[in-house]
Amino acid sequence: MRFVDEYRDARTARALAARIAELCEPGRRYTFMEVCGGHTHTIYKHGVEDHLPPNVNLVHGPGCPVCVIPMGRVDDAIAIAREPDVIMTSFGDMMRVPGGEGSFLDAKAAGADIRMVYSPLDALRIARQNPGRRVVFMAIGFETTAPSTAMTVLRAAAEGLANFSVFCNHVMIIPAIKAILDSPDLRLDGFIGPGHVSTVIGCRPYAFIAEEHGKPLVCCGFEPLDVLQSIHMLLRQLAEGRAEVENQYTRVVPWEGNGRALEAIGKVMELRPYFEWRGLGFISHSALRLRDAYAAHDAERIFQVPGVRVADPKACQCGEVLKGVLKPWECKVFGTACTPETPIGTCMVSSEGACAAYYNFGRFTRSRAKEATTA
Amino acid sequence: MCLGIPGEIVELLPDRADLATVEVAGVRRAISVGLLDGPVRPGDWVLVHVGFAMSRIDESEAAATLALLNGLGPAYADELQALAESDIT
């Protein structure tokens, strides 16, 4: 595939790896966080870590939209799905995410009409085709998917599709990065910045990371060579004593972002005072809800939403994994009680979740991985 | 879900200005181009996310990144050559 295959070349990867190794000061340990779950997926799928010197350590960030949804929100969505005449629509990633009382799949098996869609526009079409039913779209994701939801709501409003609504769970990346930076558990040397979020918000919003926290961030593409090149750019900044926001993914990410997408979000959505994140707890001004003008398409106003808080299962350590404090295999239930087939925590569900990526592509056994990290 | 896929615009839909047909790895599908600035033309490459073109793919920037990746020393000149010869479009 064009714009993909070129960035997977193994020989170029080895050459980059050699340059990365040259930049590492002996005896110094470097820890970079890949904010985005898409990067986690790439890193494990292509074995990017195998190309890195042992003193370069990658930790996974909170940028997996499925993973950060708290269990209570899943229960809320299922409660909506059980209302009369409702068709709940959702991205496939959400289907197996466990709530306090089971997942979408469980609710579907028990009789709720829950359908998988590729795009919110598919949900809109279902609403058009089923005028007698109430179609709800389970909207999740960072700034990458929020514009699509916003555009779909605008379209529904324009068409007067009164039977279409959105259960809005959109979250924002900057407050999450702030929460990570304020967390005392983690010492980071820099960030592999989210690529596709940045197509929307651009590179400017990350400036505080460099200016206030003195840490470099490189917006990074999703192929293995992109990740290696970004690590090289981070190491070069550190070697030269710089802390700046740089853009490796210039073929897709404009420095200013996507004005139209930001406009669509701003028109349809507004900040929530606070929102609960799995693992990170309540973060103020970190999520979006529909504006009053679009209340007719807001599932939270149309339906009675229980809004119950559900604590994560005790055994599950998704919170620590999302903050980068624990590696997936260090979780007590990883690969034993918690697997992609029967996930306990969200990180094991989505293909962008660190645990699922590691489980599916990890070539280490759990014990060998432990040896490797403690060596 | 958040993994964007590169696709080529192959056709504009005459009755729907906000939609276009893209080809992604041999599959053709209508997507929304309502989030892109400026006119969309067949042959443009875009990054497709959940049914929307989220961004244009800048071919010169893509080539520049590749050139940078490949400019890693004389040993990789043949690599550049191989890349230049491979046209997967």
∠ at Cα A354 (A349, A357), nearest 5°?
75
User: For residue B71, what pLDDT is reported?
Assistant: 61
pLDDT grade for B80, boundaries at 50, 70 and 90: very low
| Mean pLDDT in residue range B5-12 | 91
Alpha-carbon Rg for chain B, nearest whole angstrom, is 16
Give the pLDDT confidence of A313-356 residue by residue, as tens digits: 888 888 888 888 888 888 889 888 888 888 888 888 877 788 88
Q: Which of A153-157, A310-314, A359-363 has the lowest mean pLDDT?
A: A359-363
pLDDT band at A72 (very low <50, low <70, confident <90, very high): very high
Give mean pLDDT, residues A108-123. 95
Cα A111–Cα A112–Cα A114 angle in degrees, nearest 5: 130
A168-180: pLDDT as tens digits: 999 999 999 998 8
Three-point CA angle A287, A291, A297, nearest 5°: 100
pLDDT band at B26 (very low <50, low <70, confident <90, very high): confident
Inter-chain residue contact A65 with B2, CB threshold 8 Å: yes
What's the pLDDT band for B74 if we cut at 50, 70, 90? very low
Whole-angstrom CA distances from A45 to A10, A41, A48 are: 13, 6, 8
Q: What is the dihedral of CA B69, B70, B73, B78, to 10 degrees?
A: 160
- What does chain B come to in residues? 89
Mean pLDDT of all residues in A302-310:
89
> Residue B54: pLDDT above 60?
yes
Neighbours of A9 (CB within 10 A): 21
Phi, psi angle pair for B53, to nearest 5° = -80, 115
Average pLDDT for B48-74: 79
A82 neighbors A75 (Cβ within 8 angstroms): no
> Would you state the pLDDT for residue A318?
85
- Interface check for A9 against chain B (CB to CB < 8 A): the answer is yes
Contact A327, A373 (CB under 8 A): yes
Q: What per-residue confidence (pLDDT) applies to B76?
A: 41
Quickly tell me which residue has 């990365």 as its tokens: A20
Query: How many Å separate Cα A91 from the centre of its chain?
Result: 13
% of chain A beyond a pLDDT of 70: 96
Backbone angles phi, psi at A314, to 5 degrees: -60, -40
List helix spans (H) across chain B: 59-70, 77-85
pLDDT, mean of residues A352-366: 75
Is the pLDDT reported for residue B88 higher than 50?
A: no
Task: Identify which of A60-69, A106-115, A325-334, B36-45 has the greatest average pLDDT.
Answer: A106-115
pLDDT band at A20 (very low <50, low <70, confident <90, very high): very high
Contact: B50, A119; criterion CB under 8 Å? yes
What pLDDT was estimated at residue A370?
55
* Residue A372 pLDDT exceeds 70: no
Is pLDDT larger for residue A233 or for residue A316? A233
Query: Do residues A82 and A112 touch, judged by C-beta distance below 8 A?
Result: yes
**Crossing angle of the two packed helices A37-45 and A354-361, in degrees rounded to 10:** 10
With contacts defined as CB-CB under 8 Å, which chain A residues touch B83? 6, 9
Percent of chain B scoring above 90 in pLDDT: 34
Residues in chain B within 8 Å Cβ distance of A4? 6
Residues in chain A: 375
Give percent helix, percent strand, percent coil of chain B, each to the nearest 5.
Answer: 25, 35, 40
**Would strands B5-12 and A288-290 be described as parallel, antiparallel, or unpaired?**
unpaired
CB contact under 8 A, B69 and A2: no
Residues in chain B with CB shorter than 8 Å from the CB of A36 are 2
**B11 at the A interface (CB within 8 A)?**
no
Closest CA to A58 of A76, A33, A25, A89: A33
Per-residue pLDDT tens for A242-262? 999 999 999 999 999 999 999
pLDDT at B61: 84
- Residues of chain A in contact with residue B61, where contact means CB-CB under 8 angstroms, are 250-251
pLDDT of residue A142: 96
